[in-house]
Structure 1
C-alpha cells in the first residue's frame, strides 16, 4: 500500500491521538503505532520490524540518560521529607509583611521545591498541604489559594536542574548544560510575573490577612533557614559543577542525589529501611516510565523517518512562503494543544526532533526554543482535560471544586503566555546566560 508521505503523516497523527486517548500507556501506544505503520507501509517491513528491538535499546544506550534517574532520586528524597513544609515556613516568616505575602511565599516555595524535586505533582502536594489551608484561614479565596499552588508547581520543569530539559537535550542532541542555563532566567521571569500578579490580585480584591500576621524576630527568621539551606547548597553545587566544567551532567546528578539522600537521613531522620525503600521504589518507577517513553519515542521517530514522513513534512514547511513568526505562532499553537492531552516528556520526545530542523531553518535559537516549548508544556499541566496539577490539588483539597481550581489558575496561564511573548521580543533572556557562561554556540 502506497500513500503520499504528507497523507501518511496525517494518518499517523490521527492514529496516534486515537491510540493515546484510549487510555493505553504512552510508551506502549507509541510502540504499537510504530510497529503497525511499519508493517503496513514499509516495503521491507519484516526487516524493519526485526530491527525494532535493537532500535529501542540503542535509544537507551546513552550515558547522559543516567542523569534522569539520579535527578529523580534526588527529588524523591526531598519529597519524602518535611523539606517542603520547612521551605514554606521559612518563606512565610520572611514575607509575612508583604502585601499578598502568603501567596508570594507559597509561589516562592513552589519555585524552590520544584527545582529541588523536579516534579510538579510532588510540589503541589508538598506545598499545597500546608499552603492552601493557611491561605484560606487568612481570608484568601479558594481559587487564589488553589490556583497559585497549581501554577507554582509547574515551575520545576523549567527552572534547573530540570528533567524535562535533560529529555529535550537527549532528543535533540543539544547541550544539557546550555539548556539548564537557558531555562534559568525565563524561569525567574515566570516567578516574577506570578508574584506580581499575586500582589496585584490581592490588592485588587482586598483579600487576605483577615488574621493579624504573626510578627517574627530576626532570630526566628534565620532559624527557619537552618534545615533549608543544605538542600539549596546542593543545588548550587550541582549547577556550579555542571557549568564550571568540573563534571558531566550524569556525574553531577549522581553526587547531588547522594548528598540530598544523606541530608535527608541526617536532618529528617530518614534512616528507616521502610522509608528508604519508598524513596527508591518511587524513583525507580518514575525513571523506568520516562526511559521507556524515551525508547518508544525513538521507535516512533525511526518509523517516521523510515516512511519519509519527517523529511517530507520538514521540506514542505520549509517551502512555505510565510513569515517566520507566523510559523513560530503555528508551532506554539501545536505545542499548546499537544500539551493539553499529553505529558511534557511525551510531547518533547515526539515533537522536538521533528520541529527542531524547522526551527533552525527559520533562524531561531534551539536553546531559546527549548524555553518556549517548556513554558507551553507548563500551561498543559494546569489546563484540562489532562491538567495533572489540577487533579493533584483537588485530591489534597477535595472541598474545592475542579472548576474553582481551574478558574484560579487561568490568570497564571495568562502570565505564561505573556512570558512567551516577552521571550519572542527579547530572546536574549534565554540566550544571554548560556553564551555568557559557556561561550557562543559553534555551528
Structure 2
C-alpha cells in the first residue's frame, strides 16, 4: 500500500480510536500496534516494550513532575485568591479594572503553576462572583477567566514547552525564554480588549467604584512576593548556568511546598498527600502519553509515513506562508479535539522537518503551536477551560462562557499574526540570553 494512502488510514483510525472514549495514550498504542502487526508483521512488535520505556529514559523528563508539584502546591493554597485580591486593590480605579485584575492574576498564577485548568479554578472561584456582583455581564466574567487560564501553557515554566522540547530535541531553556514576550503580548492584548469593551459599554465608573487605601494596597503584598521570588529564582538558576531545568524544577517544587506550609499553614498530612497524589496522577498521565507517542512515531517512521508526508509537502509549489497557514488550520482543528500534550507529541515530529525546510525557526514555531493549543482550550467540543469555568459557576451556560471567550480567541489569532510579522518577539530573548542557536 502506498505510504500516503496508509497515512490516511492511520489518521482516520486514530481519530476513530480517540473519539471512542479511550485514553489518548492507550489509543495511540492500539493504533501503532495494530498497523505494525498488519503491515510489518509480528516481528516488529518485539521491540515495542524497549521503545516504550526508552522514551521515558530521559533526565529532562524529571522536570515535568517537579513543575507539576510546584503548581499543585500553589493551587492548594489561597495564593490565587491573594494574587487576585492584590491586583484588584491596585487596579480597581482603572476602567475595566476588575477584569484586568483577573487577567493579571491569571498570568501570574499561570507562571507559577503552568496549568491552565488550575489557573481557571484558582482565579475563577474568587473573580467570577466578584465581577458578577459588580455588574459585569456573565459572559465577560466567565470568558475573561477562561481565556486568562490558557496563559498557563505559554508563560514559563510551561509543561507544554517541556514536552515540545523533548519531542523535537529543542533546548527547553530557549523554549521557556521564547514564551516570555509572546505571553506578555497576549496579556496586553487581553487587557486592551477589556479596557476598550468596558469603556464602550459606558459603565466604566460604576464597575470601578471601589477604592482602597495605600495601607490596604501594601499589606497584601507580602503574601504574593514570595511566590514571585520563586519564579524569578527558578529562571535565574536556569539561565544563570547554576542548574539544569530538572534540578531547578526540583528546587522550585520544594520551595513552593515550604512556602505553602509556612505562609498558608499547609501542615496537614492529608493536605500534603492530596498535593502529591494529584501531582503523581497528572505526571503519570503525561509520561504515559509521551511513551505511547514514541511508539506511535516509530510506527509512522517504520511504515515510511512520516517520510512520505514530508516529501509530498516538499513537492508542493506553494508559498511558505500558505504552508504555515495550512499548518495553523491543522493545529487549530487538532486542538479542538485533543489536549495540548497529545497534539504536540503526535504532530511535532512530523511538522518540525517541514517547517524547518520551509525556513521557519523551530523555537518560533513552538510559540505559534502553543497559542493554537491555547485557542483549543476555550473552543468546543473539548474546550477544557470552558468546562472548568462551568463547574465553578454552573448557573452560567456553556454558550455564555463560549461567547464571552470569543473576543479573546480573536486576540490570540491577532497574536499569531503579529508573531508572523515580527518573529523576533519570540526569538530575540533566547538569542540575547543564550546566544544564536546552532
Band of TM-score, shorter chain: over 0.9
The residue correspondences of 1:285-434 to structure 2 (distance < 5 A) are 285-434=281-430
Structure 2 residue runs without a partner (length 5+): none
- Which residue matches 1:88? 84
- Secondary structure of residue in 2 paired with 1:261: helix
TM-score normalized by the length of structure 1: 0.98
Structure 1 residue runs without a partner (length 5+): none
- Which residue matches 2:139? 143
Residue-by-residue CA offset, 1:254-276 (whole Å, 9 max, x unaligned): 00000000000000010110000
1:240 aligns with 2:242: no
| C-alpha displacement of 1:147 | 0.2
Q: CA RMSD in A?
A: 0.8
Bigger drift between 258-267 and 201-210 goes to 201-210
**Which of 226, 231, 235 pairs up with 1:230?**
226
Whether contact under 8 Å (1:140, 1:208) holds in the other structure is no
- What stretches of structure 1 move > 6 A for 4+ residues in a row? none
Change (3 A) 1:83 1:209: farther
Cα distance in 1 between the residues matched to 2:249 and 2:432: 23
Cα distance in 1 between the residues matched to 2:320 and 2:301: 25
TM-score normalized by the length of structure 2: 0.99
| C-alpha displacement of 1:46 | 1.8
- Which residue matches 1:20? 18
Change (3 A) 1:212 1:249: closer
- Which residue matches 1:192? 188
Change (3 A) 1:209 1:22: farther
- Secondary structure of residue in 2 paired with 1:60: coil
| C-alpha displacement of 1:116 | 0.8
Residue-by-residue CA offset, 1:190-247 (whole Å, 9 max, x unaligned): 0000000000011111246646633212221111111110001001000111111111
Whether contact under 8 Å (1:156, 1:162) holds in the other structure is yes
Cα distance in 2 between the residues matched to 1:271 and 1:208: 43
Cα distance in 2 between the residues matched to 1:84 and 1:212: 21
- Secondary structure of residue in 2 paired with 1:264: helix
Change (3 A) 1:52 1:146: same
Whether contact under 8 Å (2:178, 2:363) holds in the other structure is yes
1:441 aligns with 2:432: no
| C-alpha displacement of 1:48 | 1.3
Change (3 A) 1:202 1:277: same
Residue-by-residue CA offset, 1:339-378 (whole Å, 9 max, x unaligned): 0000000000000010000010000000000000000000
Cα distance in 1 between the residues matched to 2:331 and 2:72: 28
Cα distance in 1 between the residues matched to 2:296 and 2:17: 13
